[in-house]
Structure 1
Amino acid sequence: MDFSLPPEIDQLRGRIRAFVNDRLIPLEADRASYDAHESIDTGLLQTLRAEARAQGLWALNMPKQRGGGGLKLTALAACYEEMNRSIFGPVVFHGAAPDDGNMRVLNQVATEAQKTRWLQPIIDGAVQSAFVMTEPMDEDGAGCGSDPSLTYTTATRTNAGWVVKGRKWFITGAGAAQHFILIARTSDDPRRGLSAFLFHADQPGWRIVRRIPIMGPEEHGGHCELEFDGLEIPEENLLMQEGDGLKLTQIRLGPARLTHCMRWLGLARRSLEVAMAYVEKRRSFGGRLIDKESVQGQIGQAAMEIQIGRLLTMNAAWKLDQGDFARKEVSMAKVVVADALHKAADTALQLLGGRGYSKDTPVEWIYRYARQARLVDGASEVHRMVLANFMRKEGTDFFKWGV
């Protein structure tokens, strides 16, 4: 693949960078820019979203005919990285999880009627969405997380559609979402036992049990535990076909993992930018910190790991754009970029000293946020297991070049 960007994509990336530098980064230092959960204030968010939309920087992953940017994943990789140089960036440009992944999968698999009813309001920014899959452990220790086969929330067929009973948790954005994609068990078939459904927040038969407190900053709507006790879903809100829930999950999560990587690379780069600005100026023990060999070694190592992650991410994006599932490539990028983000944030915090541990820079925010990267959308251990299984199956072909 060619790692250079087409001129029009590089120009778009530059416009995003200018918006981030001029409009978003200056707001990070003002505590009035935040809500109670360390997300951007919703009033401020709406103002900035209107500006981003007016500049043609809105929902870049969606088709142009639906009001988006129509970008391929390789182009998104460059743009999402620039967006998340600000902690406010992805949600302002409508490229944040979980809406980003939900829009993508609905655009791929929903019927035209479902796209009009469920997708278009998300693209327009009129509603938020959530993907409802993970579950707490039951009495036997089972619960859907990285292993969807452990789903025990059930959807039982009725004359009018389906009735859902069960429990879900760590559902990102559920506290503010109106449109939900739900994965539930519809049979005991090991491959086709799950189905996907659409429901609206106003429907009876479900409730938010609690908003789960977490270590780091939160997305709008938090991470919630949900209970289903008779939620009725009509047949027309079945997504794809009965038994296609696992297939839909795989379609959604592959690209979603990769867009996480794109955004995390922006946060990693920003961490080093903040640290570099400090060590270039800070004087101690007879000279600037940047002139100390130990400091140079830390920065060089973190920068190298970021660049490795960028190349893996772009390679996986390219393969997805070619129609490949890119399972190996996505898993490799997910593991490496998660580590690179944590390395960059930890390095920056260490070099900034007490300033990094304070809220005077965004580094402590990024540091707390970064720890989840090795857990969300499949723990790093699971992705390493996936890679080992590919290695066992393919042998030396694991390393083959494309022809």
Structure 2
Amino acid sequence: MDFTISPRVDTLRANIARFVESEILPVEADRAAYDAHGNIRLDRLEPLRAKARSEGLWCLQLRPETGGAGLDKVGMAVCYEEMNRSIFGPVVFNSAAPDDGNMMVLEQAATERQKERWLQPIMEGKVRSAFAMTEPHPGSGSDPSMMLTEARRTGDRYVVRGRKWFITGAADAQHFILIARTSDDPRRGLTAFLFDKDQPGWRIERRIPIMGPEEHGGHCEMVFDDLEIPAENVLLEEGDGLKLTQMRLGPARLTHCMRWLGLAKRSVEIARTYAAERFAFGERLSRRESIRLMLGDLAMQIEVGRLLVMKAAWELDRGNFARKEVSMAKVHVANLLHKAADTAIQINGARGYSADTPLEWIYRYARQARLVDGADEVHKMVLERNLDKEGRDFWQWDVAGD
């Protein structure tokens, strides 16, 4: 692939960098701007969102006809990395999970009528959304074939019974995408549905306490007790739930990696600044060999992550599923984020462990990266399965013109 980016993408990147520096980082530094769950307070968020929209930095990942800028995945990689220099960045630009992945899959899979009803309000920032798939044991986690939540058709509607948990953003969401079982067919047994918060027949059982800071709406356990969904609110067709899930989760895993690279770079930035200022035993920390080795290794690992992300983004832009490439990026960048935050805390000492910098926030957040959208071990099994199938061709080069 060509590693140059277009002047348009670079202009967007520069404008995002300026916006983050001048508008978002001062809010991030103000502890009064945080809500009870470690995210930006909504009254501080909305003015930033309005300004980002006015400067043409809103929903860059969506098509122009939807209201976005039409960035491809390579362009998104460049811009998302810049957005997440701040822990508040992605949500300001309406590029944060789960809305980000939900908007992209609705843009791709929904009918025009469904887009108007379900996608446009999310794109406009009027409502938030959630993707309800994961279930408590013995239901589905990384293996969707274990799904227990059922949707039974009755006339022109489906009746849903079951339970979901760790549904990101559910407490604040108005629009939901729900995956439920409609038959026992191993390939076409799942169906994707759209439903609204105000429909009866479901409830949030609890907002699950977690180690790290939370997205708006937390991570919730949901109970469905005869939720009725009209057949017109099926996404794609009955039995296409697994297809819809694959359409959503592959790109969403990669956009996580794009954002995590920004947080890893921010961790290095904070560590380098402190090391350059701090003296110990008559010498700046930045001159000590041990510190230089730490920072040099992180710089290399971040670049490895960027290359993996770009390769996967390029493959997606070419119309491929990029399962191998996304899995490699997901494993590497998730572990890199944790290492970057941990190393930066070590260099900062007690200051890094305090809340005087975002490092402790990033560290707590980073631990989930190795679990969300497929644990490390699941992605490594995917890679081994491809290796077993392809043998030495696992590493083959594509030839131009083929």
TM above 0.5, one fold?
Answer: yes
* Cα separation, 2, equivalents of 1:8 and 1:172: 33
- 1:119 is aligned to 119
Q: Which amino acid aligns with 2:64?
A: K
Q: Which amino acid aligns with 2:16?
A: I
Q: Which amino acid aligns with 1:315?
A: K
Task: Look up the SS of the partner of 2:171 in the other structure.
Answer: coil
**Of 178, 181, 185, the match for 1:182:** 178
* Cα separation, 1, equivalents of 2:372 and 2:166: 10
- 1:32 is aligned to 32
**Of 335, 344, 349, the match for 2:340:** 344
Task: Look up the SS of the partner of 1:64 in the other structure.
Answer: coil
- 1:251 is aligned to 247
- 2:275 is aligned to 279
2:272 aligned with 1:264: no
- 1:102 is aligned to 102
2:381 aligned with 1:393: no
Task: Look up the SS of the partner of 2:187 in the other structure.
Answer: coil
Gaps in structure 1 of 5+ consecutive residues: none
How far has the Cα of 1:8 moved from its partner?
Answer: 1.3
- 2:218 is aligned to 222
Per-residue CA deviation, residues 115-163 of structure 1 (Å, 9 max, x unaligned), is 01101111001110000000001xxxx2211111110000001013100
- 1:169 is aligned to 165
**Of 286, 289, 311, the match for 1:293:** 289
Task: Look up the SS of the partner of 1:65 in the other structure.
Answer: coil
* Cα separation, 1, equivalents of 2:3 and 2:264: 20
* Cα separation, 1, equivalents of 2:113 and 2:188: 24
Gaps in structure 2 of 5+ consecutive residues: none
How far has the Cα of 1:65 moved from its partner?
Answer: 1.8
Q: Which amino acid aligns with 2:328?
A: M
Within a 5 Å distance, the mapping from 1:1-400 to structure 2 comes to 1-137=1-137, 142-400=138-396
How far has the Cα of 1:67 moved from its partner?
Answer: 1.4
* Cα separation, 1, equivalents of 2:32 and 2:118: 33
Q: Which amino acid aligns with 1:65?
A: E
Task: Look up the SS of the partner of 2:352 in the other structure.
Answer: helix
* Cα separation, 1, equivalents of 2:267 and 2:33: 20
* Cα separation, 2, equivalents of 1:267 and 1:143: 33
Q: Which amino acid aligns with 2:67?
A: G
* Cα separation, 1, equivalents of 2:242 and 2:122: 23
* Cα separation, 1, equivalents of 2:102 and 2:208: 22
Instruction: State the superposition RMSD in angstroms.
Output: 0.6
- TM-score, normalised by the number of residues in structure 2: 0.99
Per-residue CA deviation, residues 169-222 of structure 1 (Å, 9 max, x unaligned), is 000000000000000000011111100000000000000000000000000000
Show structure 1 runs of 4+ deviating over 6 A: none
Per-residue CA deviation, residues 210-253 of structure 1 (Å, 9 max, x unaligned), is 00000000000000000000000001001111110011000100
Q: Which amino acid aligns with 2:205?
A: V
How far has the Cα of 1:302 moved from its partner?
Answer: 1.2
Task: Look up the SS of the partner of 2:65 in the other structure.
Answer: helix
* Cα separation, 2, equivalents of 1:247 and 1:122: 22
* Cα separation, 2, equivalents of 1:183 and 1:263: 26
* Cα separation, 2, equivalents of 1:26 and 1:46: 15
Q: Which amino acid aligns with 2:29?
A: A
Task: Look up the SS of the partner of 2:162 in the other structure.
Answer: strand
* Cα separation, 1, equivalents of 2:37 and 2:344: 23
* Cα separation, 1, equivalents of 2:327 and 2:156: 40
* Cα separation, 1, equivalents of 2:101 and 2:302: 23
Identity %: 67
Per-residue CA deviation, residues 50-80 of structure 1 (Å, 9 max, x unaligned), is 0000000000111112211110000000000
Task: Look up the SS of the partner of 1:198 in the other structure.
Answer: strand
Q: Which range is displaced more, 328-337 or 64-73?
A: 64-73
* Cα separation, 2, equivalents of 1:281 and 1:239: 55
Task: Look up the SS of the partner of 2:198 in the other structure.
Answer: coil
